[in-house]
């Protein structure tokens, strides 16, 4: 009897704590949603900030974040996927493969602020890009690289070896096998991972602090050497060091909600896409 009661108590503790975790998440999301929802309007999304960022919208920050996401993915996605293909399909087990994997893991573990320092030292100062979209995108791209590589590897691992052998047996070369058989099958998972890494890149603040982010810049960028505002940095600025923190509180709630919605939508999108694409691949 005693051991049954113990089991009951233990399981209830686990259950309560698990629901506690969920409660924390929902309270964060709920709080931001409730406080932010009345701030968001068409004007909020499409207007420049006004009156020391206490009024107006966050249009330039949204555009800035989009530029940074696009720029970083343009760099990180091809390199990451190619790198993942090399590690999983070409590299032979041994020292080189172990080294590459170790380095990828290490890169994933490096704190984002160190990426910021590095980006500033290399792209901004050494290569003289200045505070620019180019410098910020490359820094963010490097940050996203290990995630994309890992996702690609996992996706390739999930493709059964019999497909490879089948293609090779039919006379296909290694490249044809990968390009026509393996990659199309792995694509859904790769794209899912890509979408998730977009969410990560969009929300990062530390790497862009010194490589691109502008405190207040009410105009749109004209080229890759321009500075931009960015959503996460904007949220940081108006909640800690704006001209009038109290007055810009509403703007902060709105910005936070936009960021959360962005992540939420990307999450849902990647889940939906995974389901849709994997169905399609199966049908073929």
Nearer to another protein, 241 or 284 (CB): 241
Nearer to another protein, 74 or 82 (CB): 82
Contact between 149 and 83 under an 8 Å Cβ cutoff? The reply is yes
Query: Can you name the residues that pair with 228 across neighbouring β-strands?
Result: 213
Residues 92-131, one symbol each (x = binds another protein by CB under 8 A, - = not), give -------xx-xxxxxx-xxxxxxxxxx-xxx--xx-----
Minimum CB separation from another protein for residue 16, in Å?
8
Residues, the chain: 284
Nearer to another protein, 70 or 108 (CB): 108
Separation of alpha carbons 212 and 215, rounded Å: 10
Residue among 40, 63, 79, 277 that touches another protein (CB under 8 A): 79
Nearer to another protein, 93 or 284 (CB): 93
Separation of alpha carbons 148 and 235, rounded Å: 27
Binding positions for another protein, 12-41, rule CB under 8 A: 13-15, 17-18, 20-22, 24-25, 28, 31-32
Minimum CB separation from another protein for residue 61, in Å?
12
Binding positions for another protein, 132-191, rule CB under 8 A: 142, 145-146, 149, 173-175
62 binds another protein (CB under 8 A): no
Minimum CB separation from another protein for residue 243, in Å?
17
Contact between 238 and 58 under an 8 Å Cβ cutoff? The reply is no
Sign of CA dihedral 177, 83, 72, 28: positive
Residue among 157, 180, 267, 272 that touches another protein (CB under 8 A): 267
Minimum CB separation from another protein for residue 86, in Å?
4
200 binds another protein (CB under 8 A): yes
Binding positions for another protein, 216-235, rule CB under 8 A: 232-233, 235
């Amino acid at each position: 009897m005693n051991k049954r009661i113990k089991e009951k108590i233990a399981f209830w503790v686990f259950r309560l704590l698990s629901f506690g975790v969920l409660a924390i998440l929902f309270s964060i999301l709920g709080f931001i949603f409730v406080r932010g929802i009345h701030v968001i309007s068409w004007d909020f999304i499409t207007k420049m900030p006004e009156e020391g960022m206490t009024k107006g919208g966050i249009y330039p920050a949204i555009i800035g974040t989009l530029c940074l996401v696009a720029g970083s993915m343009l760099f990180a996605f091809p390199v990451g996927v190619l790198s993942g293909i090399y590690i999983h399909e070409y590299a032979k087990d041994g020292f080189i493969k172990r080294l590459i994997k170790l380095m990828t893991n290490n890169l994933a573990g490096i704190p984002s602020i160190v990426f910021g320092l590095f980006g500033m030292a290399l792209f901004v100062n050494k290569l003289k890009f200045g505070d620019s979209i180019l410098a910020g995108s490359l820094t963010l791209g490097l940050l996203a690289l290990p995630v994309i590589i890992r996702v690609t590897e996992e996706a390739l691992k999930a493709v059964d070896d019999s497909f490879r052998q089948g293609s090779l047996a039919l006379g296909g070369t290694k490249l044809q096998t990968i390009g026509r058989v393996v990659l199309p099958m792995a694509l859904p998972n790769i794209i899912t991972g890509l979408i998730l890494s977009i969410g990560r890149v969009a929300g990062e603040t530390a790497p862009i602090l010194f490589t691109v982010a502008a405190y207040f810049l009410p105009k749109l960028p004209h080229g890759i050497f321009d500075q931009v505002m960015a959503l996460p940095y904007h949220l940081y600025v108006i909640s800690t060091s704006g001209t009038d923190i109290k007055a810009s509180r509403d703007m902060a709630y709105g910005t936070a909600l936009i960021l959360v919605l962005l992540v939420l939508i990307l999450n849902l999108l990647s889940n939906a896409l995974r389901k849709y694409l994997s169905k399609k691949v199966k049908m073929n």
